[in-house]
Amino acid sequence: MSASRPNSTSPMPGSDARLDRLRAHLREHGVDGFLLPRGDEHLGEYVPACAERLAWLTGFTGSAGFAVVLPDEALVFSDGRYQVQMDQQLDPAVWSTAHMYETPGPTWLAHHAAGRAIGYDPRTISETELAAYAQAGCRMVALACNPIDAIWPDRPAAPDTTVESLPVTYTGTDSRTRTALVTAILDRDGQDDAILPDPTAIAWMLNIRARDLEFLPVPLSFAIVSRSGSVQLFIEPSRVPSHVADILGPDVDIRPPSELEAGLRALKGQTVRLDPARSAAWFWQCLRDAGANPVAGTDPCLEPRARKTETEREGMRRAHHLDGIALCRFLFWLEQNGIGRTETEVADHLLSLRLASEACTGPSFATIAAAGPNAAIMHYAPRRTDCATLESGTFFLIDSGGQYRCGTTDVTRTIWLGDGAPPAAWRDHYTRVLKGLIGLSRAIFPKGTHGYRLDPLARLPLWDAHLDFDHGAGHGLGSYLSVHEWPLGFTRRPVLDAIEEHMILTNEPGYYAPNSHGIRLENAMEVRRHDAEGRFLNFETITLAPIDRRGIEPSLLNSEERAWLDAFHAHVEAMIAPSLPPAERDWLIRACAPL
C-alpha cells in the first residue's frame, strides 16, 4: 500500500493565519465558503509541490481527502487510512475532522451551509463530485482562479522535466498500436474525440515517461484523441526532445498547455468522450460553452492499460525478481542490524539495495517504515527529524516499492524484532492477517468478477475474531507507472471494473491496534486462466520475499494454508537464493524452511 508524504506529530504552524487570509479572499470574491480537494488539475493521487494546496493550507499531507472552509467552521475529510494522521497533523483549535465515507462532504455541506455560496475551482473537481454537491442542494459557485494560489506567496514552480520515450522492448506495443486501441473504442461508441486529463493514461498510450512527480514517472500533460487517430498533446514543446517527437510521429501534435482551451473550443459540434469521475468539471463547462456534445464514458485507456501485454507481464516478473533480491538482502540485514536503527535509516538502507540494480529508477512511493505503535498508523511515514528507533520485542512494518523500467513493485512485510515470539494475542492477529492473504491468493473465480466481491476473502479470518481493517484489500499495479492503478482493486465499496486475465493487483490485508501494533502483509498477483477456456480465473503471486514465520501461530493454519505457505517459500528460495552471497543465501534457506 502506498503512502502519503511524511506525517508530522504536530500541527503545521501558521495554519490559522493562512485560513484567515483565505476567508478574507473569499469575502472579497463574494462567496461564503470554499471546497478544496486534495487533487490537482489532473485529479491524480500524486501531485507536484505546486499543487499541494490542501497540505499548504491545513498541514495534512495524506494522499486522499478535501477541506471545506466556511466563515465559522473548517473541516478536513479523509478516509480510514488517515484518521490518526489527521489527528496528529491538524490543529484542533482550527480544524475539525471527518471520515469522508461515513460523513460524505455533500451531505455535510447541505446540512451546515444551506443557502450559502460555496466557491470551487472547476479545474480541480470532477464532474461526478460536483454533481453530488449539486444534487445535495449545495449552492456551488465556480471561481475563475483558485484562491489558494492567490494567497500562497512562495508557491513552487511547476515541474518541467524532459520527456523520454519508453522503448517497445519494455511495453510490447508501440504508441500507434495503443492509440488505435483507444480510437477503436471511440469508433465502437460513435464518438469523435476523447479528452485525456490523466497523465498516466497519456504516458501509457504514447509510451512516454518523465520525472515530474516524485514517485510517478510521467509528464504532466493533457491530450485530445480523435477517432481518426490524431492526438493533440498539450505540454511545453521544449520539454519534448526532437528524437522523442520523431518516435511519436506526425499524428501527435505537440502544443503548449496555454492552447488547451482553444483546442477544446475547436471541437464544436463534435461528440466528445470524458470520464466524469476522472475529468475536471472545467472540461465539461468549456465543451458545452463551445457547442460540443460532451458524453460520459470511462477513460478509454483504463481497460487496455490494466490488461498487461506479454512483454509487460514478463517485465513485471523481472522487476519483482530484482526487488526480491533487494528485499531478501534487506531482511537479512534487518535481522542482524535493525534494532537500534531509526525508521529512516532502515528505509534508506532498503532503497540503497534497490538502487544497486541499474534497472531501478527510484521508489514507487514514500516508504512506510513503522516501528512499534507507529505501525498502527496505516499510512505512517517517518520524518528524519521525528521518527522512532527499532526496539526488541516489537513488530516492525515496512511497506515499500520500486520503480523499475520493466515494472513497478509494492510489497509489505511485518517482522518480529528480537528473540522469542510475540505475545499470544499478537500472534493471533498476525496469523489471521496471513490467513486473509492466503485466502485471497487461493481464490478461483468466474471471469468478470468484480474486486469488491473478492474483498471479503481477505477479511474472513479477522471477522471471525470480530476484527477488521479500514482500507481496501488490494489495488491495481501499473507497469513502470502508478503503484495505484485505479479503478481495479479489492474494496468494500462496489466498483464496476471486472478483474480479467493478465491484470496485476496487490493483496494486502492488515490489522491495526491503536497505540500498540500494526500488521500488514502484501504481495502482488497476476491474474491467470484457471481452465483452458478462461471461464474461471485465479491468481499467481509474483512477489518474491519470505513472510516472517515468527509471528505465526501454526495451530490457526489449516492444511491447505500451510501447504500454500510452504510452496510459496520454496518458490522464493528457488528464485532468489542463487543470486545471493553465501551468508544471505543461508539465511534465506532458513527463512523459507517448511513451517
pLDDT tens, position by position, 332-372: 999 999 999 999 999 999 999 999 999 999 999 999 999 99
pLDDT averaged over every residue in the chain: 95
Same domain, 209 and 238: yes
pLDDT at 8: 44
In-domain check, residue 240: yes
Q: Residues 465-492: pLDDT tens digits?
A: 999 999 999 999 999 999 999 888 999 8
**Distance of alpha carbon 211 from alpha carbon 223, whole angstroms:** 18
β-pair partners for 506: 524
Among 95, 122, 151, the domain-final residue is 151
Same domain, 140 and 213: no
pLDDT at 144: 95
CATH number at residue 56: 3.40.350.10
Model confidence at 215: pLDDT above 90 = yes
β-pair partners for 38: none
Same domain, 394 and 450: yes
In the chain, DSSP finds a helix count (H) and a strand count (E) of: 20, 28
Model confidence at 455: pLDDT above 90 = yes
DSSP code, position 554: G
Model confidence at 22: pLDDT above 90 = yes
Q: Which domain holds residue 386?
A: 307-586
Same domain, 267 and 366: no
Q: Residues 274-324: pLDDT tens digits?
A: 999 999 999 999 999 999 999 999 999 999 999 999 999 999 999 999 999
Among 238, 270, 305, the domain-final residue is 305
Who contacts 40 (Cβ-Cβ below 8 Å, separation ≥6)? 47, 48, 51, 124
Same domain, 175 and 271: yes
In-domain check, residue 114: yes
Same domain, 75 and 216: no
Model confidence at 86: pLDDT above 60 = yes
Pick 497 or 594 by higher pLDDT.
594
Residue 437 C-alpha cell reads as: 492473504
Same domain, 226 and 271: yes
Model confidence at 5: pLDDT above 70 = no
Model confidence at 67: pLDDT above 70 = yes
Same domain, 260 and 328: no
In-domain check, residue 7: no
* In the chain, % of residues over pLDDT 70: 97
Question: Torsion angle of alpha carbons 245, 249, 252, 253, nearest 10°?
Answer: 60
Model confidence at 6: pLDDT above 60 = no
Model confidence at 13: pLDDT above 60 = no
Reported as a pLDDT band with limits 50, 70 and 90, residue 149 is very high
In-domain check, residue 344: yes
pLDDT at 15: 67
**Distance of alpha carbon 441 from alpha carbon 540, whole angstroms:** 7
Pick 221 or 10 by higher pLDDT.
221
Q: Give me the long-range contacts of 561-570 (CB less than 8 A, separation at least 24).
A: 561/434, 561/435, 561/438, 562/595, 564/438, 564/441, 564/442, 565/434, 565/438, 565/595, 566/594, 566/595, 568/541, 569/593, 569/594, 570/594
Same domain, 272 and 396: no
Same domain, 284 and 318: no
Task: Determine the average pLDDT of the residues in 510-520.
Answer: 97
Reported as a pLDDT band with limits 50, 70 and 90, residue 10 is very low
Among 151, 179, 204, the domain-final residue is 151
Name the domain count of the chain.
3
